[in-house]
A and B are shown apart, each in its own frame.
Chain A
Amino acid sequence: MPSSAEQTILARVTAIIPESELNSWEQEELVECLAPLSGHQQELILHQIAVIWPVSHSLCLAFLEAAEPALACLDPEQFAAWVRAILHCYEAQGLQEARRFMADLESHFICTLKGQSGLLLSTIKKRLDLYLRGVAGRPFVLAEATLPGTDTATIFLPRNCTFFDEDDANFLVYKLIASLQWAFVRVNLYCQEVPNEQELFRKMTQPGSGPKDEAVFLNRFFKLFARPDRAMAIYHFLQTFSALCFLQKKLPGLMADSTVYFQSVAAEGAATMEPQSLLAGEYGFLLEQLSHNRPLELPPGPWRRLCHPASWDDSGQILLDTARIYALWEEKPDQEVASPPWFQGTLQVEAAHARRLARRQEVEQQFIEALAIRILPALARKKEAALAPGATPADTPQQADSAADLSLRLPTPQNEPEETGPDHNQVVRHIRLDDEKIGLDSKLQELGREIMDDLGHLPQLYLDSAEKMAAGRSYAPHIQTAGPEGEPLLGTSLYDEWDFRRQGFRHNWCRLLEKEIQPCGGTFIATALKEQRGVIKQLKRQFEQMRSHHRFVGRQRDGDDIDLDALTEAVADQRAGLPPSERLFVRQLRDQRDIAALFLVDISSSTEGWVGKAIKEALLVMAEAMESLGDRYAIYGFSGMRRTRSEVFRVKEMDEPYTETVQGRIAALSPKEYTRMGPPIRHFSKMLATVEARVRLLIILTDGKPEDYDDYKGEYAIEDTRHALVETKNSGIHPFCITLDTKAPEYISHLFGAANYLVIDDVKKLPRRLPDMYRLLTS
């Protein structure tokens, strides 16, 4: 039986977390953690639980364990900041990393508070990322890790840099280690399979040795040796030498700027490295040259004699050189290998291998898809020809349900003597579908080349898959392109969401899917147009008057035409002996409207009644009126369920002509699920921001408050929507709301601002009020 103190705590907890979300085991755990604390501490922690629980239950439980010790050294404000940092860490890197972050309160957080953290990667990440993108010519992902390193797609850098006191100097360190990791990728840090592996390995060791079961080539190589760590150290040293040479050549300014850093590293190394240890002297030698920005050379003696840096791009040479040095070390069995300077980072052989396999798959997928699209027309033509009445009946059945007798082949020197086969120049420029030659576009050629570079050939399997995919599509294109609900998916994007309790964003929290509505036929449009005939006619007239128009101003010094009145006057003046005016022209001026509007319609299930008829009529009337006005406009619907499936439905794109298809899509609008407003607002603000117009409007039609199935409700939902609207305004777009919620005045001006909304009490008025409102807003 729980004590009364425990029961009070339990009551507090269940006030924050709905009982339905909490099992008894979790309840117990929460109460147990909180019970020993003082009332004040409990309050502080409970407050944060409210923030963390909705994000992740496991994170919340982990937080409870770490909270008490943290409270011992943080004041309440710092405590809140710490929680924000935890959440940030969780969203960026996951639970594991967040646990680590909490455990390491001292170095991760207190240092930052005390200003001892040096330069944080997070503060300079953007700049470093842009820098690296330019230097490397391609983007790398920058991520935090204890030691620098790379898997060839991500570059890992430490969380902070405290090497120097000044930020600028620390930035240079970041820049150097990031550039060095790029250089490693360029000099091929992770040597890949060589075609004659066995032969190569035989040159290095006694026959028969070496593991066969190791999947990664470089590991197979290291394990040839009795002491793989030694081989690895030598190999890494050689690669570091190679990468630094590359940097000296490519980024001389960087290497000149870094001399001070290298001097300090050299001094530190001299103090800490065991001088007798292996590689200590070699690293010292490198650092000495780097400290004076002299062109790098290998250490004198055996290194120079045995190694051939000039041929390291040849597959295998650097491995042979590694083996030679290794052999030399056999005479020094007892010596330790020195730990290399920190900036060199670590080798991530497995990660790089995994990356390579992932890339291989990506490329395979892309190649197959692109190829399928490429051959689709030709394939369809052939099918059609086969099914045509003239075709022999015996042929038809097989051809209709399998593509077996059509075959996609690579050009080979045999079937195409006039062509250079793919092996000659490593580029596949076309393929053959039966007797037809199909050229590959530059993207396919590029992918093809990457595949050949990686695998040495282009597998026939890829071609077969592409053919199958294309065959599937040419039979049932609708099934292939449609999403699970039947609406074709046009794209997905991720958006942040504002959490007012922590005054910060939940990063990449919501996934938004953009879909297309399948237009529907039926009589709705014709009937509505007929019913609203009067309104439309009147609106068209009104809107026409608002169009961009040209007007003339007379009596200008120059212009498009002569101002006859002024001229007559001037001639008369002159005749009369007066000096004639020189302002004798008319100039045409334009009053350009230059407005782009996006109508965003709430089609959540609560709109059942109005999406049914009034809203569709209103959109139709609006579109008709807009056509005579000439403003650019778009129409989208939005709905969704939970943060992972916010959906927007395209009715009319910004510059899409207003056609029967668009009318059909208006007619096809139907109520869907919930109203999470943040993601669509952010999505369309982003879209509108790219539209060039003097005035950009985001007009939202809704029937109530933002609300979703999950915890997107109440204050949280209002505040996120409000924040999204602030972001919208900040990007120069005017949001405006039309709502049918008669209780709206309680919250709507908080959302949109005083004059930026209109409440309509009767949905039937909408077809008339919507265009009226637009007219007022834009004239």
Chain B
Amino acid sequence: MQGKRIEEHFIDVEPYYRVQGQELTIALAAHQHTIPLLLKGPTGSGKSRFMQYLAWKLRRPLITVSCHDDLSTSDLVGRYLIRGGETVWLDGPLTLAVRHGGICYLDEIVEARKDTTVVIHPLADDRRELPIEKKGEILSAPPEFMLALSYNPGYQSVVKDLKPSTRQRFIALELTYPSPDIEAEIVQHEAGVSRQEADKLVRLAEMTRCLEDAGLQEGASTRLLIHAGTLIKSGIPPRQACKVTISEPLSDDHELVAAIDEMISSLY
């Protein structure tokens, strides 16, 4: 990520994104009015894809950071490096995006530590500035710059939650699983399977999503359906394809996996 030039972050080819509702209109409005965006939704519900599409639509570079426990402020803002005995400053992804009026997308923001998340505060309110402490510099974000965060409320434990002071700076969009029709369309497009095949996969996904009250952490996402479809398309028998792409990845609980296998064999 670091060291990539800004040009490389532009998206040239239109990504496939199937609009589900008002999300695009709202995101475009948010960009226009320089309000940051918070995407909520379960895994594989199209958050990353949506950001790619938005960046393409706005013709802005998209800089994505996957957040994790050890992500430090320097990882976001930048740091000095030693090159050939000299110290050189290297912009972090956030600074890079601010400088060039890009879109900075912080994926799974709750994974980052609280002391890291605070650097985005001045950037996310109407000040729109990024203090670079080490250089004693304050960068002002141009109007094209956009900050976007994503998180998955499903995993949200009491330990990992966004602070209200962070939350309340954003416009929040919820991207849940699409309606069956749209989801089948996406699977059909992405995996290249027939509509009938896609419908069946979506039905299976809905069945697994019903197990969320019964101990399954999260039901099958659109992403898993695409994997299953892709394998089926390549000639792997459907029951087997669904087992390796759906029931096994979803859980290690023996009974849950067995129950999902039974659903698969009832459908195929």
Interface residues of A (CB under 8 A from B): 126-131, 133-139, 175, 179, 251-254, 257, 558-562, 567, 570-571, 574, 580, 582, 584, 588, 590, 594, 654-655, 691-693
Contact = CB atoms under 8 A, between A and B. Distances in A.
Interface stretch (B58-66, B74-82, B100-108, B141-149): B74-82
A582 B259 contact: no
Interface of B: 72-74, 79-82, 85, 87, 113, 134, 157-160, 206-208, 210-211, 213-215, 239, 255-256, 258-260, 262-268
26 contacts: A127-B262, A129-B214, A130-B214, A130-B255, A133-B213, A133-B214, A134-B207, A134-B211, A137-B207, A137-B210, A175-B266, A179-B266, A251-B267, A253-B239, A253-B264, A254-B266, A558-B81, A560-B74, A561-B74, A561-B79, A562-B87, A571-B85, A574-B85, A580-B82, A590-B113, A692-B158
Contacts of A691: 158
Nearest to B254: A127
A691 B268 CA distance: 39
Counting from the closest, the 6 A-B pairs by CB-CB distance are A130-B259, A134-B207, A254-B266, A692-B157, A251-B266, A253-B268
A253 B203 CA distance: 13
Contacts of B82: 567, 570, 580, 582, 584
B265 A253 contact: yes
Contacts of B81: 558
Secondary structure at the B interface, as helix, strand, loop or mixed, is helix
A562 B255 contact: no
Contacts of B266: 131, 135, 175, 179, 251, 253-254
Given A131-B259, A134-B207, A134-B260, 4 more contacts: A179-B266, A253-B239, A559-B74, A567-B82
Contacts of B85: 570-571, 574, 580
A134 B79 contact: no
Contacts of A175: 262, 266
B267 A253 contact: yes
Contacts of B213: 133, 139
Contacts of B72: 560, 588
A134 B259 contact: yes
Contacts of A654: 158
A120 to B, nearest CB: 16
A136 B263 CA distance: 11
Given A127-B255, A251-B266, A134 B208 contact: yes
Contacts of B214: 129-130, 133, 139
A127 B259 contact: yes
A136 B87 CA distance: 64
A257 B64 CA distance: 47
B211 A254 contact: no
Contact of A135 (B159, B239, B256, B263): B263
A252 B264 CA distance: 10
Contacts of B215: 130
B195 to A, nearest CB: 16
B163 to A, nearest CB: 14
B263 A693 contact: no
Contact of B262 (A131, A582, A588): A131
A666 B263 CA distance: 52
A254 B159 CA distance: 43
B206 A130 contact: no
Nearest to A179: B266
Contacts of A254: 265-267
A139 B260 CA distance: 15
Contacts of A580: 82, 85
